[in-house]
Amino acid sequence: MNTLTEYTREVAASAVALHPVSVSSACSLPLFSFHQPDSLPFPIPSQEAGNASVSSVMEELYHKTNQMVQETSDLFHKLEKDPINYEETEKNIQSKINAITANCERLEVYVFKTPINQRPIAKMRCDQLKYDNKHIQAALTNYQRRRLQREREREERENLLSRRFGNDHTAITVDYTAQEKLSLENSHRNVDEMLHTGSHILDTLKYNRETLKGAHRRLIDLANTLGLSMLQYPLLKKGSHRTSIFCLVECLLP
């Protein structure tokens, strides 16, 4: 406390030397005054100066991160043109993605230190960098997946070409194919026979229909020849039935 008092008195004395005031007024200054004399060796930065420094650091970090995004896109073009040295290129891309992620996290911290009127724009720029970084990570993942698929297909093709089949395996494969072919031929033959049988049945039904139509026509002609119409024939049939009943009753009566 004594040291702080002495330091305050020295500051007051220096202020008096620069600005002529009375000693009594200088000694009457409070100990924790926020007045900043010109002779202080460490000037206190203002709020505007702090905001300006944060904005400059954030702007520099944003441009640096954006440049890293462009460099990562160029590495993808290199990866497509030179797929042989893919390991080194993929490592460089992944390292840049990690660096971009770290810079985006730092930018998120700086966003909350910017003035309120500049905060939405800073947040939008930071989100855009994060969005681009996610797309780059997805593109790298898709490229690695396609590369692994091509390598697997190439290995399967080489294994198939280098595979040697024995006589037993070949004979078994041929026998199985021959049996399958024979079964298919038998099935086709049975289906053809069923179709022929159905066709013969239809022809027989058509012939029977024509025969019945001819018999019906001949019966009508015979009835017309006898002078019987279709109306008289049921009456005659009913009369013959009654006559037979009367004869039967007369036979039964004593």
Residues 6+ apart with CB under 8 A from 159: none
63-67, 167-171, 172-176: least confidently modelled range: 167-171
Query: Which part of the chain has CATH 1.20.58?
Result: 51-162
Calpha distance 155→148 (Å, rounded): 11
pTM above 0.75, yes or no: no
Give the model confidence (pLDDT) of 80-97 as tens digits: 888 788 888 889 999 999
pLDDT-based confidence at residue 149 (cuts at 50, 70, 90): very high
**Residue 251 confidence (pLDDT):** 65
Residues 6+ apart with CB under 8 A from 163: none
Q: Which CATH class is domain 51-162?
A: mainly alpha
Calpha distance 217→20 (Å, rounded): 151
Give the model confidence (pLDDT) of 205-219 as tens digits: 888 888 888 887 887
Calpha distance 160→66 (Å, rounded): 48
129 contacts 107 by C-beta, under 8 angstroms: yes
Q: Which element (helix H / strand E) includes 239?
A: helix 232-252
pLDDT-based confidence at residue 168 (cuts at 50, 70, 90): low
pLDDT-based confidence at residue 165 (cuts at 50, 70, 90): low
